[in-house]
Structures are given as structure tokens and as C-alpha cells.
């Protein structure tokens, strides 16, 4: 057993040295000045979409199908976690069986910080065309606000205030609306129809993604908080 461990260490060191050397060599040896796709996006994005943030214009307008399948990947991860939560229903509810509060610091800060953090998430979701941000970042920020409240007053209490079935149906409705809207707005007659409203469709896609990521992040975090501390 010990000899196999030695062989593994040497193999790892050799592989890492070779791979790192290869990557650094590739980094310093490929320079192409003729075609610059980034400059094309920097020149054209504001005139075409009205968004100051070029990265947002790229992943919400020029390459919106990418983002669409991205949201589907996220939904698959959230679906996996929620299915596992339904299948492995042991009676071990973890630490949250206690009715007492964890600590008064967390409880106080949860009460104080919930609304500002959700507001920050909404702001970052909607201001993606003017600065850094977007649906993904804003949704995760909103999810961490619910995480703080779950740690403060207990995950079961927070879970009992939401109707799970309605939340799931709402989530799938958002995905359906997002899919149909992106396919519509990037088709030929969709582009002609939404001629002057590209910025509005950008913000609408951002809002839908933000809502979807908010619900999904809260579902994942809620499961992990409810079953924490069990080995």
C-alpha cells in the first residue's frame, strides 16, 4: 500500500509539471493581431443593443442561445438536488430539530440584513446593462439573503412559509417564458417586430434569469441547511 502511494505522488508531480509547462508555453506563443473579434463587439454593441456593458450585450443578445442552455444546466442541477431531497427522506432532520435559535448575533443580523440584501440582488439584476452584474449574480445574492434568514430562524420555519408546489410551477413557467421569448426575439420576424426595443428585451431576459436563479439557489441552499451536521 505504501509503495503505491509513492508512485502516485511522483506521477502527479510529473503530470502537473508537464501540464503547467505546456500551458505557459502555449500562452506565450500564440499571438495573432489580424482578426480581433473583441474589438468588433466593442464597436458595435452599444449601437445595436443600447447596453453600455458589452459583456451583457454579448451573452444576452449576440449569444443568447448559450445563456438559454446555461439556464437549463442550472435548472438540471437544482432539479437533481430537489429530487434527492424527496427520495432520501430519512427522519434525520439534522440540527434543525432544535427549537432554539442558533445565536443572537445571527438572528439580529438576519432580521436587519434580509431586505437590503434582496434589494441589492434586485438592483444588480436590473442594472446589468450599465455596470457589472446580471441575472446570475443578482439571483445568487437574493438566495444568500434567504440563506441568512434560514440560519437565523431555522430552515423548517422558512420552508413552512412557502408553498413548494406553487414555487415549482412558477419556476417552470419562467423557464417556458424565457425559452419562448428568446427564440422569438432572435428569429427573423422577431427582430423586425422588436426593432427599437432591444434594450427592453435584454432587461426582460435578465429579470427572468434573476428570478429563476433566485428560486433555484434558495431551493439548493434550503436543502443543505436543513440537513446540515449529520454524519
CA distances from 7 to 13, 16, 21, 90 (A): 10, 14, 21, 42
Shortest reach from residue 125's CB to other proteins, in Å: 14
- Residue showing cell 443578445: 61
Three cell numbers written together for 175:
423557464
**Is 23 an interacting residue with respect to other proteins (CB under 8 A)?**
yes
**Is 105 an interacting residue with respect to other proteins (CB under 8 A)?**
no
Shortest reach from residue 193's CB to other proteins, in Å: 25
- Compute the distance between CA of residue 212 and CA of residue 217 in angstroms, rounded to an integer: 9
Helix (H, G, I), strand (E, B) or coil at 127: coil
**Is 191 an interacting residue with respect to other proteins (CB under 8 A)?**
no
Element (H, E) at 217: helix 198-226
Three cell numbers written together for 81:
438536488
**Is 214 an interacting residue with respect to other proteins (CB under 8 A)?**
no
**Is 77 an interacting residue with respect to other proteins (CB under 8 A)?**
yes
Q: By C-beta, is 21 or 108 nearer to other proteins?
A: 21
> N- to C-terminal Cα distance for the chain?
27
**Is 46 an interacting residue with respect to other proteins (CB under 8 A)?**
yes
| Binding test (CB under 8 A) with other proteins, winner from 14, 24, 167, 170 | 24
What single DSSP character describes residue 188? H
Helix (H, G, I), strand (E, B) or coil at 148: helix
Q: By C-beta, is 74 or 214 nearer to other proteins?
A: 74
Cα 49 to chain centroid distance, Å, stands at: 23
Three cell numbers written together for 177:
417564458
Interface with other proteins in residues 85-104 (CB under 8 A): 88, 90
Three cell numbers written together for 152:
437565523
Q: By C-beta, is 20 or 115 nearer to other proteins?
A: 20
Interface with other proteins in residues 136-165 (CB under 8 A): 136
Q: By C-beta, is 46 or 126 nearer to other proteins?
A: 46
- Compute the distance between CA of residue 6 and CA of residue 14 in angstroms, rounded to an integer: 13
Binding site for other proteins (CB under 8 A): 8-9, 12-13, 15-16, 19-20, 23-24, 27-28, 37-38, 41-42, 45-46, 52-55, 58-59, 63, 66-67, 70, 73-74, 76-78, 80-81, 84, 88, 90, 130-132, 134, 136, 220, 224, 227, 230-231
Amino acid at each position: 500500500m505504501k509503495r503505491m502511494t509513492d508512485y502516485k505522488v511522483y506521477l502527479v508531480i510529473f503530470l502537473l509539471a508537464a501540464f503547467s509547462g505546456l500551458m505557459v508555453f502555449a500562452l506565450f506563443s500564440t499571438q495573432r493581431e489580424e482578426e480581433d473579434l473583441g474589438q468588433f463587439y466593442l464597436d458595435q454593441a452599444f449601437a445595436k443593443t443600447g447596453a453600455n456593458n458589452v459583456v451583457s450585450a454579448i451573452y444576452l443578445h449576440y449569444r443568447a442561445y448559450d445563456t438559454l442552455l446555461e439556464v437549463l444546466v442550472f435548472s438540471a442541477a437544482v432539479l437533481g438536488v430537489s429530487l434527492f431531497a424527496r427520495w432520501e427522506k430519512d427522519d434525520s432532520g439534522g440540527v434543525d430539530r432544535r427549537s432554539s435559535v442558533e445565536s443572537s448575533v445571527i438572528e439580529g443580523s438576519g432580521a436587519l440584513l434580509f431586505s437590503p440584501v434582496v434589494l441589492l440582488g434586485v438592483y444588480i439584476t436590473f442594472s446589468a446593462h450599465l455596470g457589472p452584474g446580471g441575472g446570475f449574480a443578482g439571483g445568487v445574492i437574493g438566495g444568500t439573503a434567504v440563506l441568512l434568514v434560514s440560519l437565523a430562524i431555522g430552515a423548517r420555519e422558512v420552508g413552512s412559509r412557502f408553498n413548494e408546489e406553487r414555487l415549482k410551477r412558477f419556476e417552470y413557467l419562467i423557464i417556458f417564458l424565457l425559452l419562448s421569448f428568446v427564440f422569438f426575439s432572435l428569429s427573423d420576424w422577431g427582430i423586425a417586430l422588436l426593432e427599437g426595443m432591444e434594450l427592453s428585451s435584454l432587461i426582460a431576459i435578465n429579470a427572468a434569469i434573476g428570478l429563476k436563479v433566485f428560486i433555484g439557489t434558495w431551493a439548493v441552499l434550503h436543502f443543505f441547511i436543513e440537513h446540515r451536521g449529520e454524519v
